[in-house]
């Protein structure tokens, strides 16, 4: 008996989903509008996310000429400092290492910032022995970070400062960009849910008579809601598929140009792109948004229709 | 068993549609309810179906006080009652067979069994050969018979019919009443509203007279 019930329950779901799909397809114009809207609502944040992912990998790949300053621990002797200089000179990518004793570093700093007099007033030298590194090649951000850690691993090294202010600025900019994309994502997601909710509400209104009849013969609110949830599912799912298509098209047209740009700058770069699994996930995400929207409408409006 | 105790129903306005109506319809009994238009006949059925709630008084069906049936349980309650409407209340975008299948789909009856029972019900009202037709292709009388098939397909213990022969010619009207009589003989409690006194007096069942909301 139980399995019979389950079988018929599954059957009713199949029936509801098929009927709802044919209802959605029977209004092609409205449905295509909704699919486009949801498609854009999904494609925008996902596209934005992909773009940021690409920019983030790019910042690791773009090479530049960083200057590194290595501060040694306080009290490291000049002898030891010169030994370390020897070691570092043998590192890859290092063209030149300039060693400054603590006193020399203080003078250098004084010259640079113009407070010589003030600095000489100090009783103890606050500046440790310092090494200025010149690199012989352009390094990527990631390579530079690796070099930094390698230097930090030397016991006498107190700190390593990499001058990449522009990169820091770019990262700050990216962080803001992420937040903006997130905000727009939430807005568009809510808009999609709202639009689907509204479509389902209208579908419920237009089938008021039918709902009354079903209630007269003992249909529960849950039973009546079912096909409307499927309508939401199909709107959302279709929108998700369209989003995947939009993203694939955008990628197709953009990536070749971007690649061309990078090749001209001799940057080896693989565009992070949308795979089949992501496309399926986007469609599922769209379907979920659709069900949420439909649920919101059905839970409120189906009980209001009374025989 | 259907039991009304001092039931008052007032919609809006001054007049009561039902005025302290007390009435018992036994299990497996068949009764006719008659009276002029506006006497409260439909209101009586709507109260039993919980399409309306009484303003005062108590209604019990199969020993369950209807005031204890909350909005969540109404659907389940209605499934044990088959109701036939004067305006048929069919779904016009579904075939005759699908209309009759609807209550079984709601019940979750196995599909093959549901089809078998829907066809049997259609056969009973002589409409099996029209199972693929759409309701609007049918005459008023045929539509009414689809409504009857839909009402009995779940084998409810109670059958309510509101002016079921309103649109039918005399021969067909008589046939429909005999059909109800047959269901009654199978043990179903049947309440038929009709103002066709000459027709209902031909059948040997109790007749309840309503006048301006009161029993007479
Ligand atoms: N939904 C309603 N709102 C207000 N008045 C109603 C409503 N339904 C019925 N009535 C009134 O209640 C009285 C009884 O109606 P009804 O039960 O339909 O009578 P009958 O079926 O015997 O013709 C009538 O006066 C009618 O106008
Ligand atoms: Mg009436």
CB contact under 8 A, B150 and A217: yes
pLDDT for position A145:
82
The answer to whether residue B87 is domain-embedded is no
Is the domain of B160 the same as that of B149? no
Q: What is the DSSP letter of B5?
A: E
Is the domain of B8 the same as that of B105? no
Determine the structural domain holding residue B104 and report its residue range: 93-153
The answer to whether residue B20 is domain-embedded is yes
Domain boundary among B153, B174, B196: B153
For chain A, the farthest-separated pair of C-alpha atoms sits apart, in whole angstroms, at 98
Per the CB < 8 A criterion, the answer to whether A95 and A67 are in contact is no
* CATH code of the domain containing B13: 3.40.50.300
Domain boundary among B104, B134, B153: B153
Written as six digits, the tokens of B14 are: 């001054």
Is the domain of B14 the same as that of B72? yes
| pLDDT tops 90 at residue B186 | yes
Is the domain of B168 the same as that of B124? no
The minimum CA-CA distance between A183 and chain B, rounded to whole Å, is 40
Strand ranges (DSSP E) for B118-195?
Answer: 158-162, 189-193
Contacts of B71 in chain A (CB under 8 A): 303
Place of tokens 């050969």: B129
User: Distance between terminal CA atoms of chain A?
Assistant: 32
Query: Strands B158-162, B18-25: parallel, antiparallel or unpaired by DSSP?
Result: unpaired
pLDDT for position A1:
43
Average pLDDT over residues B182-195: 95
pLDDT for position B160:
97
Whether B166 is in the pocket of ligand 1, judged by its Cβ within 6 Å, is no
B65 DSSP β-pair partners: B60
Ligand 2 (single-atom ion) residues, CB below 5 Å: B 42
As a whole number of angstroms, the distance between CA B25 and CA A21 comes to: 46
Is the domain of B139 the same as that of B169? no
Mutation site for A-interface testing, chosen from B82, B111, B157 by largest number of A Cβ within 10 Å: B111
Residue in B24, B72, B22, B78 with CA at minimum distance from that of residue B50 = B78
Q: What percent of chain B has pLDDT over 90?
A: 84
Is the domain of B13 the same as that of B70? yes
Residue in B106, B139, B98 with CA at minimum distance from that of residue B122 = B98
Question: Residue B80: which pLDDT band, with cuts at 50, 70 and 90?
Answer: very high
pLDDT for position A3:
52
* Cα B162 to ligand 2 centroid, rounded to whole Å: 7
Written as six digits, the tokens of A74 are: 């306080």
Global pTM exceeds 0.80: no
The answer to whether residue B187 is domain-embedded is yes
Under DSSP, is residue B203 helix (H, G, I), strand (E, B) or coil? coil
pLDDT for position A242:
92
Is the domain of B39 the same as that of B73? yes
As a whole number of angstroms, the distance between CA A24 and CA A4 comes to: 30
Q: Name the residue at shortest CA distance from atom 12 of ligand 1.
A: B17
Q: Which residues contact A301 (CB under 8 A, 6 or more apart)?
A: A201, A204, A205
The answer to whether residue B28 is domain-embedded is yes
Q: In this predicted model, what pLDDT tens digit does every residue of B194-212 receive, in sequence order?
A: 989 999 999 999 999 999 9
**What residue ranges define each of the domains in chain A, with the CATH number in brackets?**
8-62+168-304 (no CATH), 67-163 (3.30.70.3040)
Pocket test for ligand 1, best of B7, B11, B12 (most atoms within 8 A of CB): B11
Nearest ligand atom owner, CA of B210? 1
Name the strand (E) or helix (H) holding B150. Answer: helix B140-152
What is the spatial order of strands in the sheet that A130-135 belongs to? A94-100, A130-135, A68-72, A157-162
Residue in B151, B208, B137 with CA at minimum distance from that of residue B179 = B151
HEC string for chain A: CHHHHHHHHHHHHHHHHHHHHHHHHCCHHHHHHHHHHHHHHHHHHHHHHHHHHHHHHHHHHCEECCCEEEEECCCCCHHHHHHHHHHHHCCCCEEEEEEECHHHHHHHHHHHHCCHHHHHHCCCCCCCCEEEEEECCCEEHHHHHHHHHHHHCCCCEEEEEECCHHHHHHHHHHHHHHHHHHHHHHHHHHHHHHHHHHHHHHHHHHCHHHHHHHHHCCCCHHHHHHHHHHHHHHHHHHHHHHHHHHHHHHHHHHHHHHHHHHHHCCCCCCCCCCCHHHHHHHHHHHHHHHHHHHHHHHHHHCCCCCC
As a whole number of angstroms, the distance between CA B168 and CA B152 comes to: 19
Closest atom, ligand 1, to C-alpha of B35? 22
From first to last of its 307 residues, chain A has per-residue pLDDT tens of 445 567 777 877 888 888 888 888 888 888 898 899 889 888 888 888 777 777 777 776 666 677 788 888 888 888 888 888 888 888 887 888 888 888 888 777 777 666 666 666 777 777 788 888 877 667 777 788 888 888 888 888 888 888 766 667 777 787 888 888 888 888 888 888 999 999 999 999 999 999 999 999 999 999 999 999 999 999 999 999 999 998 888 878 877 777 666 666 555 555 566 778 888 888 999 999 999 999 999 999 999 998 8
Is the domain of B173 the same as that of B131? no
Side-chain-side CA neighbours of B91 within 13 Å: the count stands at: 22
Q: Name the residue at shortest CA distance from atom 2 of ligand 1.
A: B11
The minimum CA-CA distance between B43 and chain A, rounded to whole Å, is 13
Nearest ligand atom owner, CA of B46? 1
The minimum CA-CA distance between A23 and chain B, rounded to whole Å, is 12
As a whole number of angstroms, the distance between CA A142 and CA A57 comes to: 10
Q: Which residues contact B143 (CB under 8 A, 6 or more apart)?
A: B88, B90, B135
The separation between CA B150 and the C-alpha centre of its own chain, rounded to angstroms, equals 11
The answer to whether residue B115 is domain-embedded is yes
The answer to whether residue B185 is domain-embedded is yes
Per the CB < 8 A criterion, the answer to whether A13 and A226 are in contact is yes
The answer to whether residue B88 is domain-embedded is no
The answer to whether residue B27 is domain-embedded is yes
ipTM score: 0.93
């Amino acid at each position: 008996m139980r399995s019979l019930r389950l079988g018929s329950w599954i059957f009713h779901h199949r029936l509801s989903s098929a009927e709802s799909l044919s209802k959605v397809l029977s209004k092609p114009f409205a449905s295509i509008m909704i699919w486009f809207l949801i498609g854009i609502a999904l494609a925008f944040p996902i596209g934005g996310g992909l773009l940021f992912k690409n920019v983030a990998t790019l910042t690791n790949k773009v090479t530049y000429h960083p200057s590194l300053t290595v501060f040694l621990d306080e009290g490291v002797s000049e002898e030891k400092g010169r030994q370390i200089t020897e070691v570092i000179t043998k590192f890859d990518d290092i063209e030149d290492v300039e060693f400054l004793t603590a006193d020399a570093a203080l003078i250098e700093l004084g010259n640079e910032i113009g407070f010589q007099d003030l600095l000489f007033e100090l009783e103890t030298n606050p500046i440790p022995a310092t090494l200025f590194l010149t690199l012989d090649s352009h390094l990527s951000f990631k390579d530079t970070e690796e070099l930094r850690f390698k230097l930090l691993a030397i016991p006498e090294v107190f700190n390593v400062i990499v001058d990449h202010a522009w990169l820091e600025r770019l990262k700050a900019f990216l962080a803001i960009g992420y937040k903006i994309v997130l905000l727009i994502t939430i807005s568009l997601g809510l808009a999609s849910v709202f639009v689907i909710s509204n479509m389902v509400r209208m579908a419920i209104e237009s089938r008021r008579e039918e709902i009354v009849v079903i209630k007269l013969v003992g249909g529960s609110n849950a039973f009546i809601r079912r096909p409307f949830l499927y309508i939401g599912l199909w709107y959302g799912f279709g929108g998700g598929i369209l989003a995947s298509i939009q993203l694939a098209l955008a990628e197709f047209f953009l990536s070749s140009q971007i690649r061309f740009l990078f090749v001209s700058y001799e940057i080896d770069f693989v565009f992070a792109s949308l795979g089949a699994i992501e496309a399926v996930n986007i469609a599922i995400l769209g379907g979920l948004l659709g069900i949420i929207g439909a649920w919101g409408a059905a839970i409120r409006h189906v009980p209001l229709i009374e025989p | 068993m259907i039991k009304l105790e001092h039931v008052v129903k007032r919609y809006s306005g001054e007049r009561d549609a039902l005025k302290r109506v007390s009435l018992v319809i036994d299990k497996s009994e068949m009764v006719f309810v008659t009276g002029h238009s506006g006497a409260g006949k439909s209101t009586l059925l709507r109260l039993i179906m919980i399409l309306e709630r009484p303003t005062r008084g108590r209604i019990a069906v199969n020993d369950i006080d209807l005031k204890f049936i909350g909005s969540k349980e109404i659907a389940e309650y209605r499934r044990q009652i088959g109701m036939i409407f004067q305006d048929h209340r069919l779904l016009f975008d579904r075939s005759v067979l699908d209309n009759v299948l609807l209550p079984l789909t709601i019940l979750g009856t196995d599909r093959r069994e549901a089809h078998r029972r829907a066809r049997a019900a259609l056969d009973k009202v002589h409409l099996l050969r029209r199972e693929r037709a759409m309701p609007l292709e049918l005459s008023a009388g045929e539509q009414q018979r689809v409504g009857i098939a839909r009402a009995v397909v779940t084998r409810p213990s109670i059958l309510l019919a509101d002016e079921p022969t309103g649109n039918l010619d005399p021969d067909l009207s008589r046939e429909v009443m005999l059909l109800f009589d047959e269901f009654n003989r199978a043990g179903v409690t049947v309440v038929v509203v009709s103002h066709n006194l000459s027709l209902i007096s031909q059948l040997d069942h109790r007749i309840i007279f309503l006048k301006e909301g009161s029993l007479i």
